[in-house]
Amino acid sequence: MYNKGKIIPGLIIFVALMLFAVFNNAGKKLEAPKPEKPKDHKECVLPLAEINKTHMKLLNDWRDEVIREGNREQIKVEGKMYERSLQKGCMLCHTSKKKFCDVCHEFASVYPYCWDCHIAPQEPQEEMVQQEAK
């Protein structure tokens, strides 16, 4: 083998880079995200399997229809009318951004730009108290 002094360190760097994720994860426990679901509501605007997959598209479409086209038609869930809106709709039931949205988003490194325009709602009182206690 020629040029050992360059080949071997080169290969070590290559293998180390390829195994980056392994070193990065070492010693950390992987936990599946568990977003907190609203206790007093059972139904969402779409069935669970679908809202899981398409909520981002739904919100995007709502924004286009409501803000850009001015179509403020409301949506009916559990017999009650809701506005097609993130803050005046979704977040009436899913009150906490931290305990609902962020749980999965942070796990999957998804940073939607909802909060570029919207002011993130105040977290529910219960959590505020807990944080103060800490």
Partner 1 sequence: MRVLYSFVAVLALVLVSFLGGKVTGLQYLLGVVLPYLAFGVFIVGFCNRVIEWSKSPVPFQIPTTCGQGKSLPWIKYNRLESPNNTLEVVGRMILEVCAFRSLFRNTRAEMHDGPKIVYGSSKSLWLFSILFHYSFLIIVLRHLRLFTEPIPFFVPLLEMADGMMQIGAPRLYATDVIFLAAIAFLFSRRIILRHIRYISLPADYFPLFLLFAIGVTGLLMRYYYRVDITAVKQLTAGLASFSPALPAGIHPIFFIHVTLVCALLVYFPFSKLMHMGGIFLSTTRNMANNSRSKRHINPWNDPAIKPHSYAAYEDEFREFMKDADIPVEKE
Which residue ranges make up the site for partner 1 (CB under 8 A)? Answer: 1-4, 7, 10-11, 14-15, 18, 20-22, 24-26, 28, 30, 32-33, 52-54, 56-57, 59-60, 104, 107-113
- Name which of 15 and 133 has its Cβ closer to partner 1: 15
Q: How far is the CB of 51 from partner 1 (least distance, A)?
A: 11
Task: Retrieve residue 112's tokens.
Answer: 């939607």
- Name which of 32 and 119 has its Cβ closer to partner 1: 32
Sequence letter at residue 59: L
78 and 42 Cβ atoms separated by less than 8 Å: yes
Range 121-134 burial, b when 16+ CB lie within 10 A, else e: eeeeeeeeeeeeee
Q: How far is the CB of 15 from partner 1 (least distance, A)?
A: 6
Q: How far is the CB of 105 from partner 1 (least distance, A)?
A: 10
- Name which of 28 and 134 has its Cβ closer to partner 1: 28
101 and 36 Cβ atoms separated by less than 8 Å: no
Nearest CA to 72 among 86, 59, 62? Answer: 62
Q: How many residues does the chain have?
A: 134
Q: How far is the CB of 133 from partner 1 (least distance, A)?
A: 26
- Name which of 110 and 128 has its Cβ closer to partner 1: 110
